[in-house]
Each structure stands twice: as structure tokens, then as C-alpha cells.
């Protein structure tokens, strides 16, 4: 009998391990912010538990993505860096990769869907990277990325299906666990699964008993359904206001999550926007809808977290203020 039955498969051989995350933390330390962990008595009362918000909206580039991009870019050999770096992104990873490449002195090209928010495109270009547009959906992303790689001879830093990127994302949770010891659970948003994979490896490396949850919009529930069905679901078109969470799990992240994540909690867009407004109003932090999904998940699943100490990865704050005003106006406050 195997130690891992079909419901808890082993992680793949190329998955990063805890020491990779420790190495990533040292590698990115000269460049990344150690972001604050903030608390709110008002939100604790509302949620019925003790919440610790890891503020990656205050990270460089406005999102956790800089951690993974920075670790990957500074892991490259000088020869590879000189070839130029290519990635695909709906926004935050693109900006982060562009910034990391600039710090390394390397050229960067970002393949982005044409419906990427203006504010995220502006950030990518402000860091000096080129943007090449594709259609929404993974197939077009992959096709255009392959074309760019062939044309430029560059090296790929995938936004999530890359062990260096996963290890970098896990460094946020290393800091969270050091600042808020004794967490019962940690919740990260899930899109392609890079952040949630790194979160799980870091959290369980520091405390094997901690419960790791994903939080996902109903309109992009491929991770939830993939874990429930035991196979990776691809080819759906996401429909959610959470523009950072529209990707699907990768071949590397799916088995990592399958072996490590207790559950993926679902929230609808109205719950995400309501949680976003709570964080703006009560914590005075600008977060994007994707970054509010973990709080929305706690509020929608109160019983699972009653009286517990819960870490939430507030993944990013890159939101168009005019769009945000429209979202808030669409709901009674």
C-alpha cells in the first residue's frame, strides 16, 4: 500500500520545497519589501475570528507577484538574462516581471490579454517592458507566448507554473508566520496556483499542522472543481470581476495543491466587492477585488474559522480607482 492514495498524491519531483523558499527569501531580500501584517479589531468582530492580513498590496509593484518574478529573474544565469525575459500575464505578474527585469538590467516582453486593466498595462510599460497582446483564454496566451519566444530567443518565466516563481511567492508566508506565530489556518487566492502552492509549502514547512485554504471566485472555479474531481480542468472561460484570478491551474501547481490544500472556498463577485470595501473602509488599504477574496471566503464560511487565528494573503492593490467607484456604487453600502 502506497503512502499516498489517489486523494493525496505526492507532489511532483520538480515542486519546490521549504528550503527553496528560504533560499528565495535571501535572494529577493535586497529588492522586495517585507510587507506589514496588519490586524483590525472591527473585522475580527465581524468575522468571529482573529485575522492577520499580509499586505502584499504594499509590495513593490503593488502585488505579491514581485516576489516570484524577482526570485526567478535573479535565479537566471547572466547568459540567460541577456537573452531577454518573456512572460504571459493578465497584469500583476507582468508588472512584477518588468520591474524585476529592469533591476537585473534585462529586457522583458509581456504577453497580455487585450482586456487587461489599463492601470496594469501602464505599470508594465512604466517599468520599461514591451507588451504584446493576445486574446483572453489560455490557448491564445500560450500560442502568442510561443511566437514571442521563437522570435526573440528569450527565456520564459511563467507566471505560476515555475518552481522559482512558486518559491518566491512562498516568501510572503514565511514573513507572515514569523510575524503572527500560532496561526491555525492560512488562506490565499487561487488563480494559476503559484501563490497558493508557495503559501502551502511555506506554511506547512514552518508548521505541518496548519490548515491551508484557497479562495476562488465562483466565476473562475476551476481550482475548486479540479481538486474535487481529482483532475485538472482546462479550457473554461472565466467570468469574474477578480481580474487577477482568471487563470487556470498548471501542470506543476495542480499536484502541489492536491497534496497540500484542505479546501478551495468559493465566493461570488458581490462578496468579493463587499470584502474589498470593508478593507478599504476599515483598514484604510487599497486592495483589488482579487486581494479581498480571502476575507470574503472567511465571511462566507464563518463556521470553519470560528475563534481561530487566520492568516490572509492580501495579494494586490492594483485597481483602477474609477472602476472601483463604479463597483461600490453598484452595491448598497
Antiparallel, parallel or unpaired: β 130-134 and 108-113: parallel
Least distance from a second copy to the Cβ atom of residue 115, Å? 20
Closest of 223, 319, 222, 322 to residue 272, by C-alpha = 319
Minimum Å gap between C-beta 119 and a second copy is 8
Q: In whole angstroms, what is the distance from residue 260 CA to residue 185 CA?
A: 12
- Minimum CB separation from a second copy for residue 62, in Å? 6
CB of 21 to a second copy, least distance (A): 24
Beta bridge partners of 188: 214
At 290 the three-state DSSP class reads: helix
- Which set of grid coordinates corresponds to residue 241? 470581476
Q: Which strand ranges, in their side-by-side order, compose the sheet holding 85-88? A: 130-134, 108-113, 85-88, 155-156
- Our CB check for a second copy shows the closer of 119 and 156 to be 119
Q: Interface with a second copy by CB under 8 A: which residues?
A: 36, 38, 41, 57-58, 60, 62, 119, 277, 280-281, 283-287, 317, 321-322, 324-325, 328-329, 333
- Crossing angle of helices 118-126/92-104, nearest 10°? 10
C-alpha cell at 107: 529586457
Taking the least distance from each CB to a second copy, the nearer of 41 and 151 is 41
Distance CA 214, CA 6 (A): 20
Q: Quick check: helix, strand or coil at residue 85?
A: strand
Q: Which triple of cell numbers denotes residue 14?
A: 520538480
* Of residues 60 and 224, the one with the C-beta less far from a second copy: 60
- Is the Cβ of residue 1 or residue 329 nearer to a second copy in the bound state? 329
Whichever of 49 and 324 has its CB closer to a second copy, that residue is 324
For the CB of residue 280, give the shortest distance to a second copy in the complex, in Å. 5
Nearest-approach distance from CB 43 to a second copy, in angstroms: 13
Q: Which is nearer to a second copy, 111 or 319 (CB)?
A: 319
Return the number of the residue (119 or 132) whose C-beta is nearest a second copy. Answer: 119
Q: Under a CB-based contact definition with an 8 Å cutoff, are residues 189 and 294 in contact?
A: yes
Distance CA 157, CA 69 (A): 8
CB of 27 to a second copy, least distance (A): 20
Positive or negative, the CA dihedral 64, 65, 69, 72 is positive
Q: Contact at 8 Å (CB) between 99 and 69?
A: yes
In the complex with a second copy, the residue whose CB is nearer, 11 or 58, is 58
Which of 123, 149, 115, 135 lies closest to 62 in space, CA to CA? 123
Shortest Å, Cβ 35 to a second copy: 9
Amino acid at each position: 500500500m502506497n503512502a499516498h492514495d489517489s486523494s493525496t498524491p505526492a507532489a511532483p519531483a520538480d515542486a519546490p520545497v521549504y528550503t527553496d523558499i528560504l533560499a528565495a527569501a535571501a535572494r529577493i531580500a535586497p529588492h522586495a519589501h517585507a510587507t506589514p501584517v496588519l490586524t483590525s479589531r472591527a473585522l475580527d468582530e465581524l468575522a468571529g475570528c482573529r485575522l492577520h492580513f499580509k499586505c502584499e498590496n504594499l509590495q513593490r509593484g503593488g502585488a505579491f507577484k514581485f516576489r516570484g518574478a524577482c526570485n526567478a529573474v535573479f535565479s537566471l544565469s547572466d547568459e540567460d538574462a541577456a537573452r531577454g525575459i518573456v512572460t504571459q500575464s493578465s497584469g500583476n505578474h507582468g508588472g512584477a516581471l518588468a520591474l524585476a527585469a529592469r533591476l537585473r538590467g534585462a529586457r522583458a516582453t509581456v504577453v497580455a490579454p487585450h482586456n487587461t486593466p489599463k492601470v496594469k498595462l501602464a505599470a508594465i510599460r512604466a517599468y520599461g517592458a514591451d507588451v504584446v497582446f493576445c486574446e483572453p483564454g489560455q490557448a491564445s496566451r500560450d500560442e502568442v507566448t510561443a511566437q514571442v519566444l521563437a522570435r526573440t530567443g528569450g527565456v520564459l518565466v511563467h507566471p505560476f507554473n515555475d518552481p522559482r516563481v512558486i518559491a518566491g511567492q512562498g516568501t510572503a508566508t514565511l514573513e507572515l508566520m514569523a510575524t503572527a506565530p500560532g496561526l491555525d489556518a492560512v488562506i490565499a487566492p487561487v488563480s494559476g496556483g503559484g501563490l497558493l502552492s508557495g503559501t502551502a509549502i511555506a506554511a506547512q514547512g514552518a508548521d505541518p499542522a496548519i490548515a491551508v485554504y484557497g479562495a476562488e471566485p465562483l466565476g473562475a472555479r476551476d481550482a475548486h472543481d479540479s481538486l474535487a474531481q481529482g483532475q485538472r480542468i482546462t479550457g473554461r472561460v472565466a467570468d469574474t470581476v477578480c481580474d487577477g484570478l482568471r487563470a487556470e491551474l498548471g501542470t506543476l501547481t495542480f499536484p502541489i495543491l492536491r497534496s497540500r490544500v484542505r479546501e478551495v472556498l468559493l465566493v461570488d463577485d458581490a462578496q468579493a466587492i463587499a470584502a474589498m470595501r470593508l478593507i478599504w473602509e476599515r483598514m484604510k488599504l487599497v486592495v483589488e477585488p482579487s486581494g479581498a477574496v480571502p476575507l470574503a471566503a472567511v465571511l462566507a464560511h464563518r463556521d470553519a474559522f470560528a475563534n481561530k487565528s487566520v492568516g490572509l494573503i492580501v495579494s494586490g492593490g492594483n485597481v483602477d480607482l474609477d472602476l472601483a467607484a463604479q463597483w461600490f456604487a453598484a452595491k448598497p453600502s
